[in-house]
Amino acid sequence: VQTCALPISSRLIKPVQDLIAGTQAVGKGDLEQRLSLPSHDEMGLLVHSFNDMTKRLARARGDADKSRHAVEQERARLAVILARLSSGVISLDRNLVVRTANTAAARILDIEVDGLVGKSFSQSEPESASPLLDQFRAACGLHLQRADSDWREQLQIKSDKSRRELMVACTPLPDAEVGQAGFIIVFDDITVQLR
């Protein structure tokens, strides 16, 4: 009886051990795991389900990689377009943190783009080196605090060196999940045209 039980138990234990090893490999990211079908009973159904699951996970990962690549390509195209615009463009998330700012925005407001991105747009830093930016933030901030999400206004901002007339427009960025993802502020320096 003992010699007969050993082969039977190994036929049951081996597929379970394979499933455990396969599950651990998938947990570490190896989605190419395929187990051999030991039989056509419940254990075989379980192994078949495991193999089907890893195929679907691998396909989903491939689709996600393709989508991520497409998003990165679109983001790169948008960055090129924004860099070539003469209008300043600043995008804010719904918490009014600056997500993007183009070089025209930096030129018009006399700032470095890196000094703006990732920071709160509504809070001016005391050490700000740009009075133009401070005035721009204050004027836009009045609208944003009033939940004025879609507006257009002509602003005058001044520094010791210059005075600039800006045509500023703000519009909300919609998001299907949260309703409003943030804002985009577009502005042009119209000082020369007004002269």
Q: What is the mean pLDDT of residues 128-138?
A: 84
Q: Compare 78 and 6 and report the one with higher pLDDT.
A: 78
Rounded distance between C-alpha atoms, residue 86 and residue 103, angstroms? 9
pLDDT above 70 as % of the chain: 87
Rounded distance between C-alpha atoms, residue 86 and residue 136, angstroms? 17
Binning pLDDT at 50, 70 and 90, where does residue 127 land?
Answer: low
Rounded distance between C-alpha atoms, residue 30 and residue 158, angstroms? 60
Binning pLDDT at 50, 70 and 90, where does residue 169 land?
Answer: very high
pLDDT (tens digit per residue) in 26-65: 888 888 878 777 777 777 888 888 888 888 988 998 899 9
Rounded distance between C-alpha atoms, residue 106 and residue 93, angstroms? 19
Coil vs helix vs strand at 158: strand
Residue 124 has pLDDT above 80, yes or no: no
Position of tokens 């605090």?
145
